[in-house]
Structures are given as structure tokens and as C-alpha cells.
Amino acid sequence: MALLLGLQVHIGEQVESLSDLPQSHFQMVVDASGSSQSTNSLSCSLGFKYQSLSTKGVTLGVVAQFEKPRGTSMNDFNLAAHFKRGVFEDLKKQGLELENIVYFCGETHYFVMTPSIQCLKQNGVLRSESDCCDQLALQERVDPAAFEDFCRDVGDFFNLEQSCAFLPQNSGVFDFSLRRRSSEALKISVPSGKLDDPVLVCLCGDALIEPFWPEGLGINRGFLSALDCAWIAIKFDTRCGLFGEKVEELKAVSRCSFEELKRVSAFTSTAILHNTEKKGAYTADPMTRYRRIGHLS
Ligand SMILES: Cc1cc2nc3c(=O)[nH]c(=O)nc-3n(C[C@H](O)[C@H](O)[C@H](O)COP(=O)(O)OP(=O)(O)OC[C@H]3O[C@@H](n4cnc5c(N)ncnc54)[C@H](O)[C@@H]3O)c2cc1C
């Protein structure tokens, strides 16, 4: 596809500012450099401001992976306590108090879940009493044997076969209490260095807004924001320059799409997004996705 479109792909390049880009003449950049946990500093160097969103107290997630010998496949599932109360009550009776759990049958048996802190403490997974958000400090607090037992108990509950070995290197506890959200999705950035011309910059994925799992969020808003960027690219008329009326219109479209995107969660999606049952119903045009912005495109 890249060859058909005449794209150049550079793999493994670290881009800290626009002047790191191998080509100096372009008019639009999409920053998809991920969350604050990654090495990303690109969006900050482009002048984007972030707002920190913190949960009440510490919110921890667990990833548990098991080997997948032949014939041990299971059906994928995605369960939230809000919708499947019975399952989560049964889990709680076994000392496994979770907010939600996702299972994916890929190269491994992959579980990701949000247990309560209390549950992790009661199961001996977290050693000390103090709460913290630092990933390194968090790893030191985890008791590996208790963590494995906890993951095995969750696997047993969902009928994972005992023959599937636990994969400690691919599993862990992580903190997602702190997330960040950009204050805007589109910006005209005036670069420095070897670049002379201002550039239209769009953010998408975690670089724009990080998901909060208990709200049923993951990469879903990432896909929507990528489509929003695609729409800006389609509508951006490079002949009109970056400071005219047309660009103001683009900014307005971006602002409205981002306002809708921020409101999306598992509990609100049917009110904010159009029904997706019809195949191909969603296009880059925000009007096909967000209910409230029919008049914008
Ligand atoms: C443990 C864990 C489990 C998850 N499980 C799920 C799940 O089951 N379902 C779900 O929907 N979501 C899940 N998520 C969330 C999901 O992974 C993210 O929302 C998604 O990966 C965001 O995609 P992205 O492309 O925006 O960023 P990323 O996937 O983080 O990709 C960003 C890329 O940009 C690169 N990069 C960063 N800075 C620079 C730079 N300066 N120069 C060049 N390259 C750079 C990074 O190396 C990376 O390759 C999970 C997240 C975590 C942490």
C-alpha cells in the first residue's frame, strides 16, 4: 500500500522535534507517538499542552499471560462489572474482586483486568501499605509468587487449562491512575531550526487522549481520532495556506470532533456515536460517526 501511494516509511526513527524529520518540506504532521509512559516528547515540543486526569486514589491494572499449547484456545471475551454483575460477584466470592477483564486468544492466553487494590493486598500480591504511582516502585512492591497464584486463580475461574504455563516476563501490574489529555487536537506549529514554514499538526491515539479502562476504553477512541486526522488531511487545502479562513474552519471541525471524542466511553457510546452495525458505516467524515456534528462537514 505504501508503495502504491508513493510513501516513504522510516522504521525505528526517534523524532523529538520536527527538525528530526528526514524531509524538510511538508505542511501537515500527524503525531501518534503514544502515551506519557512511552518515550514521547514530540507533542510537547510542538507546543501541545496537556491536562492530567487522575483517578480517585490509585488504579492498578494486571496483565496475565499464559503459554498457549495447541488445542487450548478459548473464545475472546470482554466483561465489565457494570454489565455482568453475576460473574463479578462469583469472582469476588473467590477473593478476586475485579472491575473488568478482557481475554484475548492470540499467540498466548492474554488476560488484562483491573482488580481493586484491596483485592491485590488480600491476595498478597502487593507487599506494602503505601500507595504509589511510580512504575518502578510498583514492581518492587509486587510479590512474584503471590502474583502468579492470583493470575492462575483468575485463569482457573475462566476455565484456562492448568497445562498452560504462566509467563512472568509477559505479565505484570501497572498503574494507570494518571492519564493525560491534550487540550487540543490540531495546532499550527511554527517550527524552529532548518524548517522555515509553519506546519499543521494533528494528534491521534494516546498522544491525544489516554484511555481509562474501567470506562470500557482502550484503543477505540484511538481509531476515532485517527479517522479525525484523516478527515483533516482530506479537507486541508494546501493552496490556501495555514492562516486563512479555511484553516479556521478546519480548526472548528477538529474542536467539535474532539469534544465528542472526549465524551465517548462504554456507557455513553450509543448516545454519542452512530450505530456501527452497518458494515462500512464509519468513514473519515466525522458526520458518519458522531451524532451531534451532522452539520459540520
Ligand atoms: C498493558 C496495556 C494493555 C492494554 N490492553 C488493551 C486492550 O486489551 N484493548 C485496548 O483497546 N487497549 C489496550 N490498551 C491501550 C492501548 O494499548 C493504547 O490505547 C494504544 O496502544 C494506543 O495506540 P497509539 O498508536 O496511540 O500509541 P502506541 O501504541 O503507544 O504507539 C506509539 C508509538 O510511537 C512510538 N514513539 C513514541 N515517541 C516517539 C518519538 N519521539 N519518535 C518516534 N516514535 C515514537 C512508540 O515507540 C510507539 O511505537 C492497553 C495498554 C496497556 C499499557
Q: What are phi and psi of 171, to 5 degrees?
A: -120, 160
91 vs 41: CA distance, rounded Å: 40
Decide which of 91 and 188 is more confident: 91
Residue 207 pLDDT: 93
> Does 39 contact ligand 1 (Cβ within 6 A)?
yes
Q: Which long-range contacts (CB under 8 A, 24 or more apart) does 89-94 make?
A: 90/157, 91/154, 91/157, 94/153, 94/157
- Which residue lies with its CA nearest to atom 9 of ligand 1? 218
Q: 265: Cβ–Cβ under 8 A, 6 or more apart, which residues? A: 212, 215, 216, 217
The answer to whether residue 198 scores a pLDDT higher than 90 is no
CA 37 – ligand 1 centroid, Å: 9
CA 83 – ligand 1 centroid, Å: 26
Which is the closest atom of ligand 1 to the Cα of 206? Answer: 26
User: What is the overall mean pLDDT for the chain?
Assistant: 86
The answer to whether residue 20 scores a pLDDT higher than 90 is no
3-state secondary structure of 62: strand
Mean pLDDT across the stretch 201-207? 94
Lowest mean pLDDT among 63-72, 127-136, 222-231: 127-136
Mean pLDDT across the stretch 166-190? 89
